[in-house]
Amino acid sequence: METGSVSIALIPAAVTTVIKNLLENGLINHGMTGHLGSDILVSAQPFDRVETGENEHARVNLFLYQLNPKGISGYSRHQTGKPDDPKYRYVSEIEMFYIVTGYGAQDLHAEMLIGCALQSLHEAASLTGEQVRSILGAPSSPKAGRVVPPAQNAVTASGAAEMIKSLRIVPFMLDPDNLLSVWSSQQAPYRPSITYQATVFLAEPSNEK
How many Cα neighbours within 13 Å face the side chain of 64? 18
DSSP 49: G
Per the DSSP assignment, residues forming a β-bridge with 102 are 60
**Global pTM?**
0.83
How far are the Cα atoms of 65, 89, 127, 177 from residue 155, in angstroms, in the given order? 20, 24, 18, 34
pLDDT at site 141 = 45
pLDDT, position 83: 46
In the predicted structure, residue 11 carries a pLDDT above the cut 60: yes
Domain boundaries, given as residue ranges, for the chain: 3-202
Of 74-78, 133-137, 171-175, the range with the lowest mean pLDDT is 74-78
Is residue 93 within 8 Å of residue 70, measured between CB atoms?
A: yes
Judging by beta carbons within 10 Å of its beta carbon (0-12, 13-18, 19+), is residue 163 exposed, middle or buried? buried
